[in-house]
Structure 1
Amino acid sequence: MTRFLLVTPPLLSHVRAFEALGEALVARGHRAAILLNAGGTALVRSPDIEPLEVGPGAGPAQLTDRPTGLFGILRTVREGAWRTEALVTEGPRLAARWGAEAVLVDQMEPAGALLAEHLELPFLSVAAALPIDPDPAIPAPYLGWPYDPSPEGLKRNRGGERVARLLLRRQRETIRAACSRLGLPLRERMEDCLSPLASLSQTVAGFDYPRAPAARIAALGPFRSTKDNVGVSPLRSDGIRPLVFASLGTLQGHRLGLFQTIARACRQVGARLAIAHCGRLSPAEAATLDAELVTDFLPQRAILAEADLCICHAGLNTVLDALEAGVPVLALPIAYDQPGVAARLVHQGAGLSLSHRLLSPSDLARALQRLTREPGFRREAERLGREIASAGGAARGAELAERLVAETLDGISRSRRLKQPEPA
């Protein structure tokens, strides 16, 4: 039995992915605790995982829902730095007191890796969003650039890294200060904090851009709790009019104007529309939307099993749910890794991507008609769905984590025995 500490930002989709991994580890006979910033443990619902909380720091309410533009990006970086500082300050004490023996670390929270190294614990990285593992031919996840391994494409990727370096200055300073505080070798990028063992990723290889054979990414598909009830769809396909499911996620569901554009486009093409705004619209705002169903939350996987198309913000979890159901996606990326997710959809031929800025109902309607009339989109979505179904998810991730950690701990134990002096 190993005591696994899980470290992730207080983002709902990330917490759910880590809960699924933690539950799978517990099912294999281990113990699991999740370390979050102040207020983050309110997101934890699994009774199998012990919540640990640090503070002060940025909790869920301080995650910006307007992360676009220069000031939005800088605000997002600043909030991330606050969370990292809080975890580095209190995390080692909480982890040691709980008795952590191994750590699963969200790639988007460098404090987890630094904490593990400080306590001399083996750790694995977890890509709850798109993997950030460096590859010169692959643009950063927050860039919606196409895959281009040509000299021109490699040059553009390097240029994007230079711009990101300027925008992420606060993050670099925080990581450097954390290394100094914890007595670790100096580093400054999140990529410098990845596990040497492996990165457990929610993507599948067929969805990502081509990576070098030496990449340590275990592409496992979505991490889902076996205790989750898929539910029953409140709408069924009628076989006549296309059924469209639309969601902009938990942080962007307040965008009434974008939902109105989606509703008008669906009306133009004669499609039925179900909207989930994740509780971000008032009843009065929701009433302005001309859709067959407008509500806060829907059983997403259940309704996607009935749907013909999905319109979303290109959040990774929603896209993977749609692809698992073999449903093509019209992506309207807004922030974070959504441009990269949308670009991969287009690269794999399983969907289309449009800018959400100045989007007209007519432009959106034309994209919906393409997705409906051209069979290649559904064919590629179904191909990826088959790969997702066989990837293994959280259960395989827990098995891999168990094996790699056991091998590492065994190696450490042998090394220590060899260093012990011979008895007199």
Structure 2
Amino acid sequence: MSGFLFVVPPLVGHINPTVGVAAELAARGHRVAWAGLPELVEPLVGEPATLFPCDSPALDDPALLPSSLRGPAAMKGLWERFLEPLALEMAPGVCAAMREFQPDVVIADQQAVAGALVAERLGVPWATSATTPAGLAPMLPKVEAWLTGVIHGLRQRIGDPDSTADPRRSDRLVLTFSIEALAGPAGSFGDQVRFVGPSIAPRPSVCDFPWEWLDPGRATVLITIGTAHAEAGVRFLAECADAARARSGRLQAVVVDRSGTLRDSGDDLLVRPFVPQLALLERCAAVVCHAGHNTVCEALWHGLPLVVAPIRHDQPTIAAQVVEAGAGLRVRFGRATADRLGTALDSVLREPDYRAAAERVGRSFRAAGGAAATAAHLEDLAAHPATGRLR
């Protein structure tokens, strides 16, 4: 029996893939624990769970991830305002977790680099959890050089000052929750990269949902922009709602709106701050989203075509993968209107090729192995450690 510690950032889409992997490892008789923000991790992983608390920057700070930033500026802002402070705040909790739990392997999310940095300092083998393959792509040289300096500074404070490893990318094992058919040949990313497909597993329900509202005689469309873009998405969600209302005779929409600005409208539009997404997708015909990797993978797993409107970071890359696979259409987030959204939605619902492509990707996801394949790779790493126990 081995011990596996998942170090996760306070981001739902980065925690969800670990849930199925942890369940698989536990079913195989291993010890499993998490290090992260308790109020976000606990509802997602369920009970019983071993969780070691870590601090985080204030997630409700509007200056944390300003929606006006795009491209390299957005990446620089992400690290300066969120990921670098997050690493420093998480490090004490991660260190305490490792000393108490004594893991054989640490699984550090790409955006929770404290996990990798503390692991290398304490001599614990670690793997990278890459929830999106976009995180493996090379950056512009100037951005990469700047980020190398940021990571060097973090290593001096919370890692092994003599190491040169990249905490975003383990040199032993990188677990990528996608497939080569979407992201490209695994070999182009490095010999340690394993494409395992999405880890889709039942999750604890965190909210009530009026299932009786769904009309089996009409197509149900899920509209969501994830958990990190509530304020930026107010206008976009309003346009989506108008597009849905204009088609109320043949479809109904469930809109995830965490800003609280939209209102229900009879039997054609249901607005909720949270939904049981996996269970709901089983009853949907299509998804409109921001091209967040977690939502895209869960939609394609269920064979659902998409309308994607990427906002920033890795989302344009994920949106391009959806379009190239033939599983959906892309609209511009900042210029999306009810007419444009409605036209795209009509296409993915009416033209069978989109659904067929989504189902084809879904079959490839299942063939990749998901949680079971991931657990097997982690067991192999635990059985062949490159370093000793904690020092």
For residue 266 of structure 1, the aligned residue among 226, 244, 250 is: 244
Hey, what does 2:122 align to over in structure 1? 119
- Alignment partner for residue 358 of structure 2, among 375, 381, 388? 381
Whether the 8 Å CA contact 2:245–2:269 is kept in 1: the answer is no
The residue number in structure 1 matching 2:372 is: 395
Superposed, 1:3-402 pairs within 5 Å as 3-36=3-36, 45-55=45-55, 57-62=56-61, 64=64, 66-69=66-69, 74-77=76-79, 78-89=81-92, 91-134=94-137, 161-162=140-141, 164-165=143-144, 169=146, 171-181=147-157, 182-185=159-162, 187=164, 193-212=168-187, 215-226=191-202, 228=204, 234-238=213-217, 242-254=219-231, 255-269=233-247, 271-282=250-261, 285-287=262-264, 291-402=268-379
In 2, Cα distance between equivalents of 1:236 and 1:391: 34
TM superposition shift of 1:27: 1.8
Question: For residues 9-34 of structure 1, what are the alpha-carbon distances to aligned partners after superposition, in whole Å with 9 as ceiling and x for unaligned?
Answer: 11122223223322322221111221
Q: SS at the partner of 1:357?
A: helix
Which deviates more, 247-256 or 100-109?
A: 247-256
Kept in 2, the 8 Å contact 1:40–1:59? The answer is no
Cα distance between partner residues in 1 of 2:281 and 2:99? 43
Of residues 17-26 and 399-408 in structure 1, the stretch that sits farther from structure 2 once superposed is: 17-26
User: Cα distance, 1:278 vs. partner?
Assistant: 4.9
TM-fit CA distance, 1:289: 9.5
Whose RCO is larger (CA < 8 A, sep 6+)?
2
Secondary structure class of the residue paired with 2:332: coil
Q: CA deviation at 1:72?
A: 6.0
Letter matched to residue 262 of structure 1: C
Unaligned runs of 5+ in 1: 135-139, 141-159, 414-424
SS of match in other structure, 1:321: helix
Q: 1:390 is paired with a residue of what secondary structure?
A: helix
Q: 2: CA distance between counterparts of 1:183 and 1:245? A: 45
Q: Which amino acid aligns with 2:172?
A: L
1:323-348 alpha-carbon deviations (Å, 9 max, x no partner): 12211100011123211111110111
3-state DSSP of counterpart to 2:182? coil
Report the equivalent of 1:151. none
CA distance in 2, matches of 1:86, 1:186: 21
By how many angstroms is 1:45 displaced?
A: 4.1
The answer to whether the Cα contact below 8 Å between 2:135 and 2:314 also exists between their aligned partners in 1 is: no
Using the TM superposition, give the Cα deviation of residue 356 of structure 1 relative to its aligned residue in structure 2, in angstroms: 1.0
Structure possessing the higher radius of gyration over alpha carbons: 1
% identical equivalent positions: 26
Report the alpha carbon displacement of residue 40 of structure 1 after superposing the two structures with TM. Answer: 5.2
Distance of aligned partners of 1:95 and 1:412 in 2 relative to their CA distance in 1, 3 Å threshold: closer
Quote the offset at 1:261 in angstroms. 1.0
Please state whether the residue corresponding to 2:307 is helix, strand or coil: strand
Distance 1:163 1:281, change over 3 A: farther
CA contact (8 A) 1:22 1:49 kept: no
CA distance in 1 between partners of 2:320 and 2:180 (Å): 15
Q: Cα gap change, 1:272/1:226 in structure 2, threshold over 3 Å: closer, same or farther?
A: closer
Paired residue secondary structure (1:69): coil
TM-fit CA distance, 1:39 = 5.9
Contact 1:21/1:398, CA 8 A, preserved across alignment? yes
Q: TM-score under structure 1 normalisation?
A: 0.78
SS in 2 for 1:15: helix
TM-score under structure 2 normalisation? 0.84
SS at match of 1:293: strand
List runs of 5+ in structure 2 lacking aligned partners: none
In 2, Cα distance between the equivalents of 1:49 and 1:195?
26
Aligned equivalents of 2:214 and 2:283: distance in 1? Answer: 8
The answer to whether the 8 Å contact 1:233/1:299 transfers is no
Task: Provide the rounded CA distance (Å) in 1 between the counterparts of 2:348 and 2:187.
Answer: 31
The total of aligned residue pairs comes to 378
Deviates most, 221-230 or 397-406: 221-230
Give the distance between the partners of 2:61 and 2:43, measured in 1 at CA: 14
